[in-house]
Amino acid sequence: MNVTAFQIKEQEMYCYSELNRSCTKRFHSFAVQVVLYILFSVGTVLTITGNVMVIISICHFKQLQSPTHFLILSLATADFLLGLTVLPFSAVRAIDTCWYFGDAFCTFHTSLDGTICITSILHLCIIAIDRYFAITYPLIYPIKFTACSTALIITFVWIVSLTYTFSLLYSGANKEGLEEIIAATSCKGSCQILINAKWGLVNLLLFFIPFSLMAWMYTRIFMVVRNQARLIESLTDETFAAHNYNSRVAKRERKAAKTLGIAMVAFVICWLPFFIASILDSYLNFILPPFAFDIILGISYFNSALNPLIYAMFYPWFRKSIKLILSCKVFTADCSTTNLFNQ
């Protein structure tokens, strides 16, 4: 009995017990595994269902088919793809501490993960530009930001993100200078692709440059919003009534900017630890333990579930559209023309 128990324990120490180059397997207690499975399951379900609601809402309701909402639609599509194609495999790796899906799929999985991350960053940056022009240059905005130009921008963002991430990992450029470390640490059952310091710095810039641009634009937006609010307060009742419609439109634009600004802050809070840890790890010879990397990455993934929750809290049109979707009223003939902004 003791020998059998020892043999079982020894087999469980490796991801692939029959291979000499198998990775060692970290053990979680049963309670920890249950908690992790619940967290990942809830996070995955929230990510998929929440973003599906955003996608259906914007695709179905004609009132939401504007350039800004098309950008939100594309961002929700990226988050939905993350929940559908990336999170389930990352959950197995984090909980079981082994990668069972092969080296080829590991590279594809990591490339897709990176593509969605960069796509989200660029989308949030373009949304900030969209809001900046909508509020500070309301006369120019409808001319420059059309459905056609927005579609071209979205296509460009996806192509750039796909090309950059997949070419970086499949060309092996990320491994240059790390040959000795990779040879010493590589084992069967691991999917932690290393990025050298040069490309780690590039990835960090891909985060900080858009973030700096977004921070500057939202600062300008809120300065303009404050001045607009003061101007509206100074209007007489007669003047305000004459410009009632324009005032309501401006108020809606300001609320949209505030909500999207909150979404940007949430993205930064969730993803900043990952980018800082990645660049520090590349300069410190990758001393970050795998479990710490999984925790930081899990915080980053949480952002994809967070965006629909932010919309639900701050967008009345999203709450109303969810009610119509869940009540199956979207199948009625005139539902697509429902007024979602009747405030």
Whether residue 343 is contained in a domain is answered as no
How far the first Cα of the chain sits from its last, in Å, is: 73
Query: CA-based Rg of the chain, rounded to a whole angstrom?
Result: 24
Q: What is the pLDDT of residues 103-160, one digit of tens each?
A: 899 999 999 999 998 998 899 889 889 988 888 888 888 888 899 999 999 999 999 9
CATH number for 86:
1.20.1070.10
Higher pLDDT, 54 or 295: 54
Instruction: State the DSSP code for 85.
Output: I
Closest CA to 175 of 73, 75, 113, 107: 107
Alpha-carbon dihedral sign for residues 51, 56, 57, 58: positive
| pLDDT band (50, 70, 90) for residue 12 | low
Angle, alpha carbons 117-119-121 (nearest 5°)? 70
Per-residue pLDDT tens over the stretch 28-41? 777 878 888 888 89
Reported as a pLDDT band with limits 50, 70 and 90, residue 2 is: very low
Q: Is residue 152 part of a domain?
A: yes
pLDDT at residue 8, rounded to an integer: 42
**Residue 303 near residue 271 (C-beta atoms within 8 A):** yes
Residue 27 lies in a domain: no
Domain for residue 199, yes or no? Answer: yes
Type of residue numbered 91: A
Q: How far apart are CA 28 and CA 30, in angstroms?
A: 6
Asked if the structure places residue 19 within a domain, the reply is no
Residue count of the chain? 343
Among candidates 291, 265, 288, which has minimal Cα distance to 276? 288
118 lies in some domain:
yes
Collapsed DSSP state (helix, strand, coil) of residue 6: helix
For the stretch 78-99, pLDDT in tens is 999 999 999 999 988 888 888 9
| Whole-angstrom distance, CA of residue 343 vs CA of residue 338 | 13
Specify whether the CB–CB gap between 315 and 252 falls below 8 A: no
Please say if the pLDDT value at position 169 is more than 90. Answer: yes
148 falls within a domain: yes
Report the domain count for the chain: 1
Phi and psi, residue 140, nearest 5°: -80, -30
Amino acid at site 65: Q
pTM: 0.85
The predicted model gives 285-291 an average pLDDT of 75
Residue 9 lies in a domain: no
| Domain assignment of residue 169, given as a range | 32-332
